[in-house]
Amino acid sequence: MEYWVRVAPDVRIYVNDINPGGRNPILFIHGWPANHRMFEYQYNALLGAGIRCIGIDMRGYGLSDKPVWGYDYNTLADDVRGVIDALGLRGITLSGHSTGGAVAIRYMARHQGHGVSKLALFAAAAPSLIQRPNFPYGLKLSDVEEIINAAHADRPQMLWDFGEKLFYKKVTAPFSEWFFQLGLQAASWSTIAIAHSWISEQLFQDLGQIRVPTLILHGIHDQVCLYPLALAQNQGIAHSKLVPMEESGHGLFYDQREDFNRELLGFIR
């Protein structure tokens, strides 16, 4: 079932509720700059096991409305709450990749894990995507500024360059083009606004407010959300399990999709 949930007077979030009669529902929050379709290879595996899969497009991305405001993590987490309440979801696994993982963490802290019984983080951009005085493990600030400047100058080229370092294993040219097109579906302003949020947002305090079992999947070759971020998540979240993905980069959902899907299915069952 496909529909839009109104989360603000001028903002509707696109929802693809796949197999609504299934069990063990999982809600997916995609990473930057894609949309829910990036989880195609998870949907195919989980649906075969009878799982209810719910994909959403964050505001500004995919088929959701694209306002010029609201790209801070608080607002994005509030959008997730709007979807969970509109669908009446309870006892779900909340999952997120990259920026989507950061939004999932903020949701757990800001909304006290409302409706969520388990949390799954995939290469999450937390507790900080960039290096800070007390956290020297992320990207350099100049790396993010370069992405922002490139998006202003030539967004298609920026997206293509980003895709080139996303996967550890070689992907086909058609696959690269498909993923590139997911990024093009986003608005330019939302693409840039999220990158600015990477600079301002920190989730150090949020980690300690998570009270549900948490699975952390992270590629050790990740060039975007570096592997030490996963170690910090594992240390900061009680009852968390970290599974290093030895043959994966940032696109671990495809690099090691069979291992990824097996770990995820075993966790949510």
Active-site residues, by number, are: 98, 222, 250
CA distances in angstroms from 269 to 8, 91, 93, 183, listed in the order given = 33, 12, 10, 31
Cα 255 to Cα 197: distance, rounded to the nearest angstrom: 27
Q: Which two tokens stand for residue 130?
A: 């960039």
Residue 157 makes CB contacts below 8 A (sequence gap 6+) with: 150
Least Cα distance to 24 among 54, 55, 3, 1 occurs for 54
Say if CB 119 and CB 108 are below 8 A apart: yes
Residue entry with tokens 């990259």? 98
Give backbone dihedrals phi and psi of 11, rounded to 5 degrees, phi first: -135, 125
Cα 7 to Cα 28: distance, rounded to the nearest angstrom: 17
Q: What is the DSSP letter of 135?
A: B
CA angle at residue 263 from 117 to 88, to 5 degrees?
Answer: 30
Residue 29 identity (one-letter amino acid): I
Least Cα distance to 151 among 188, 186, 185 occurs for 188
Q: Which two tokens stand for residue 183?
A: 């990024």
CA distances in angstroms from 79 to 83, 113, 148, 216, listed in the order given = 6, 14, 24, 23
